[in-house]
Amino acid sequence: MEENKKSKAAGISIGIIVLVVFLGFGFLIGFAQTRSAQNLAQTNDEGPYADFYFNKNGELIYYAGDESEVVVPETYSINTIAQTKEIVSQNVNELTNIAAKLGLEDYTILATQVPSPTSYGKTVTEYTLKFRFFGAVAGSDYTVTRIAERAFTDNTKITRVELPQTVTYLGETAFAGCTKLKEVVLPPSLDYMGQYQFQNCSSLTSITIPKNLTDINYGSFMSCSNLQSVEMSDDITCIGSQVFYYCKNLKSIKLPANLQRIESNAFYYTGLEEIDIPASVNYISNRAFWGCNNLTKVVLRSSMVVSADSSIFSTNRKLKIYVNDDLYDSYKQSYPWSEYSSNIYKISEME
């Protein structure tokens, strides 16, 4: 009996020791897990970078935020821990393009029906791209040099965007459809701007085009209906097709001193009242100033008859085209200027 009591007592003692060790070990594990969770939370905190999707080539692929004023960072680093991300759009092709640009291999796109924002009682399909991604955080491992095509397209929240001094490239339609965008700060480093860059940015009132650009690409400011002021450097040699198409509030503009070409429909249906075309211009394409019904004065400074296509201007009895005196007869007799024979005057007669 006495031995049994000792055995039980010994067993209880061992059990207590094991329990204490276990509890202590458990406490250590719990403490370690808590510390790990805290570190994880700190590492995953992307802060102001959370809505910017960069790749490892210094390119901003997409901005998913809803801030009205956006300043794109000049440098960034890549998070060491992947996070679950979601991007919502009504355009499924947009999401698949984003997935491809980000190099995603494992992702899902879910479709749901949501109330239509424009038609009461109706629904539209909304798509959600879900994926794991090593997002950007504050750092200096990568320098932002490119803004990808459609990076901000159809963002109706932003009113102002400032790009860093390191950006040299703007992809096509990067800001197209940003209907509330009033101001964009383009860096002097920019030397390429893709087609339809600010198409339908109906709140944009002014723009300064950086000096490193030598041409303004196709449709860059198409249907910017409130655009009133454009500043261009004298180094620009070409204004592309439909660049200022239907900018109905653009009433005046100073053309670059070294401009050589004005392409088709460049100023189609703008609000221009007069235009002074520098001596460097040697070609004007068809319908370049078509529909400019308020245009009453055009000055051609070239020392030679400017090569042109047909239908440069709409029929306008009030339009006066002033040319160098010694080219007066040549303009009136050469096609297509002869179509506007009654509108041609000598510069010496200019009021």
pLDDT in tens, 86-104: 999 989 998 998 899 888 9
Residue with tokens 């992947």: 82
8 pLDDT tier (thresholds 50, 70, 90):
very low
Residue 6 pLDDT exceeds 80 = no
The predicted structure's pLDDT at residue 190: 97
Q: Which two tokens stand for residue 33?
A: 């897990």
Q: For 102-114, write each residue's pLDDT tens digit.
A: 889 899 999 999 9
39 pLDDT tier (thresholds 50, 70, 90):
very low
CA 244 to CA 241: how far, in whole Å?
8
Mean pLDDT, range 66-78, rounded to an integer: 95
Mean pLDDT in the chain?
Answer: 88
CA 81 to CA 121: how far, in whole Å?
43
The predicted structure's pLDDT at residue 31: 30
Residue with tokens 């803004």: 147
272 pLDDT tier (thresholds 50, 70, 90):
very high
pTM of the full structure: 0.82
Q: For 285-326, write each residue's pLDDT tens digit.
A: 999 999 999 999 999 999 999 999 999 999 888 999 999 999
In the chain, what are the domain boundaries? 205-351
Residue 239 pLDDT exceeds 90 = yes
Mean pLDDT, range 218-235, rounded to an integer: 97
Pick the CATH number of 205-351 from 3.40.50.300, 3.80.10.10, 3.90.920.10, 3.30.450.40: 3.80.10.10
The predicted structure's pLDDT at residue 117: 83
CB contact set of 160 (below 8 Å; sequence gap of 6+): 68, 69, 70, 181, 182, 183, 184, 185
CA 97 to CA 100: how far, in whole Å?
5
DSSP, res 26: H
The predicted structure's pLDDT at residue 46: 66
Residue 36 pLDDT exceeds 50 = no
CB contact set of 173 (below 8 Å; sequence gap of 6+): 149, 150, 153, 194, 195, 196, 197, 199
The predicted structure's pLDDT at residue 317: 85
12-16, 114-118, 160-164, 214-218: range with lowest mean pLDDT: 12-16
The predicted structure's pLDDT at residue 20: 37
The predicted structure's pLDDT at residue 40: 26
